[in-house]
A and B are shown apart, each in its own frame.
Chain A
Amino acid sequence: MSEVGANKSRAQAEIVSPDPINENASRYEIIDTDVHFLPDWDVLRGYMPEPFKSKLTRYPLVGADFSPQYSTGVMGTGQDVMGTARTAEDVLKMMDELHTDMVMLVPGFQRPQSLYHKSWVSVLSAAYNDYLADKVLPVSDRIKAEIMINHRDPAAGAAEVKRVGDTPGFISVYTEYGGNYEPVGTAPHDPIFEAAAERDLAVTIHAGCFWQQMSPIHQGTRTWTELLGIASVGITMASVGAMIMQGLFDKFPDLHITVKEGGFWWLPEFALRGDDFYLSHPGDVSLVERKVEAGEEFLTKLPSEYLFENFRFSSQPMCLPSDPKHFQMLWELCRGEDMLLYSSDWPHATFDPPNWIFENAMISEEARVKILSANARNWFPRLR
């Protein structure tokens, strides 16, 4: 800093180009478990069979008559406010900008499971997976991805897992949950879970198939905060509840479900209420398909045990209480240190950089390492 001109009382301010990502980010291994990848549509069409290649000239605007544009002013259902990753090179550039060591790509297409044409979902999923296998995953070991499936046609979903599941770089199966159809955790979806479990693939369920006309829980909503901010947490709880109470983890005990963008601070309510309800009202568990098939009367464990053993949660959006004491309480109740996997949700408008992990005095050094990468490495069998 130097003094300027004749005015000796003024100092020179330095014009700088600061990096908004916390300076400590480059000192840690960071695995971002939720980065949305949106290949060019015409490129994907090249991977589609006819008649889809000729007919699907654009991605259908599924449920887009209410889009986030009213709340953010940004057009487009994907809200790619931070940029758009269409190629492996785009992904690597984004990773460098955010000091990220590894990413898990998830589809940038919004609400595909809400398409009534099941064939479209299958074709889009296959084209997306083939493009990743062909042009993206071979480029860098730092890029991992999840297998997009059509979960509403479980046979097709399972077939897709089997078709591409052995491709290096795929570490999980991906779908969205919500909508006006069965929760993804029910028994009819077992072919998908079986195919994943056989291949050491985790399964991701990502908040997504909401929108007023697509989901009873969202009917009547009029604002983005209701839609994505609040109601989607309710449908997350319902989806997790279906998995647990309908015996998914008694049939596939080692199955790992990663919940993305489904909220997190609700875990204590789920655990306490779930256990109490189950212990007081267990009689109907024996009637669910998996228990009928197995001839079992009850769950093997309490609902809260499955919750903390078979699930992990992506961290974004991390909504921090203003009082650090409250953060500490929630953190402990939710077992944040073990349950969270860092995610940014790049490039969406709900983007979360890792800054909060570095700037919160309540998060220990050990917890920091776990959230940023160690939990993910332990959680995804193919990252071990």
Chain B
Amino acid sequence: MTEYVVGRLDDIPQDGAVAVQAGRHLVAVFRVGDAVYALHNTCPHKGGFLCQGQVVADKKMVRCPWHYWNWSLETGALETDPRQKVRRFEVKVVDGEVVLTA
């Protein structure tokens, strides 16, 4: 596993996301308030990119832009069937920098 600097916290739009290439992983890094979350960018359903989805801040979910599958930012679980998961990555804010482990 490698630690990657995504950028400054303010580089990520509030209630939004950026996509980053971290080694071989394409990861969507989300921001809700001062909290950050990271999920594999590709929706397992049909391949929509979660970085382009709508962040539902109060539920801490992202809505895939293609078919509205809702994924938990905290656990990666699908809202409708939590047995299905999208891969989650560790991410944190260190001295104002967003640090992703992938």
Residues of A within 8 A of B (CB): 4, 9-18, 20, 22, 72-74, 81-82, 349-353, 355-356, 359
In the assembled complex, 20 residue pairs joining A and B whose CB atoms fall closer than 8 Å, in A order, are A4-B5, A10-B99, A12-B4, A13-B21, A13-B22, A14-B21, A15-B18, A16-B19, A16-B20, A16-B26, A18-B26, A18-B41, A20-B52, A74-B68, A82-B66, A349-B67, A350-B67, A353-B66, A355-B47, A359-B47
Bound: A350/B48 CA distance, A: 12
Main secondary structure of the interface of A (DSSP, over half): loop
Tell me which of B5, B19, B46, B102 contacts A12 (CB under 8 A).
B5
Residues of A within 8 A of B68 (CB): 72-74, 81, 349
Chain A: minimal CB distance from B11 (Å): 7
A11 with B41: CB separation less than 8 A: no
Q: Are A20 and B5 in contact (CB under 8 A)?
A: no
Residues of B contacting A352 in the complex (Cβ-Cβ under 8 angstroms): 46
A13:B46 contact, CB within 8 angstroms = no
Q: Is the CB of B19 within 8 A of A17?
A: yes
Instruction: Give the shortest distance, in Å, between A82 (CB) and chain B (any CB).
Output: 8
- Chain A residues with Cβ below 8 Å from B27 are 13
Say which residue of A18, A72, A351, A353 sits within 8 Å of B19 (CB atoms). Answer: A18
B9 touches A (CB below 8 Å): no
Taking A15-B20, A349-B68 as known contacts, 9 extra A-B pairs with beta carbons closer than 8 A to each other, sorted by chain A number, are: A9-B3, A10-B4, A11-B22, A13-B4, A13-B5, A18-B19, A18-B26, A18-B51, A353-B66
Q: Is the CB of B67 within 8 A of A353?
A: no
| B11 nearest CB neighbor, chain A only | A15
Known A-B contacts A349-B67, A349-B68; the reply to A13 vs B47 at CB < 8 A is: no
Residue in contact with A351 in the complex, picked from B18, B22, B67, B102, CB distance below 8 Å:
B67
Chain B residues positioned under 8 Å from A356 (CB to CB): 46
A15/B46 in contact, CB under 8 A: no
Does B55 sit at the interface, judged by CB under 8 A?
no
Give min CB distance, A6 to chain B, whole Å. Answer: 11
B100 at the interface (CB under 8 A from A): yes
Across the interface, do B47 and A20 meet the contact criterion of CB distance under 8 Å? yes
A15/B6 in contact, CB under 8 A: yes
Inter-chain contact A13/B67, CB cutoff 8 Å: no
A13 touches B49 (CB 8 A): no
Q: Which residues does chain A contribute within 8 Å of B41, judged by CB atoms? A: 18
B47 and A351 form a contact (CB under 8 A): no
- Residues of chain B contacted by A355 (CB below 8 angstroms): 46-47
Q: Are the CB atoms of A13 and B20 closer together than 8 Å?
A: yes
- CA of A18 to CA of B26, assembled, Å: 9
Q: Which residue of B lies closest to A73 (CB)?
A: B68
The digit string for B17-33, where 1 denotes a CB below 8 A from any CB of A, is 01111110011000000
Q: Please, which residues of chain B bring their CB within 8 A of the CB of A81?
A: 65-66, 68
Set of chain A residues within 8 Å of B42, measured between Cβ atoms: 20
B102 contacts across to A, CB distance below 8 A:
13
Complex interface: chain B residues within 8 A of A17 (CB): 19
CB pair A10–B3 under 8 Å, yes or no, is yes
Question: With the chains together, A17 CA to B42 CA distance in Å?
Answer: 13
Chain B residues, CB < 8 A from A359? 47
Please, which residues of chain B bring their CB within 8 A of the CB of A10? 3-5, 99
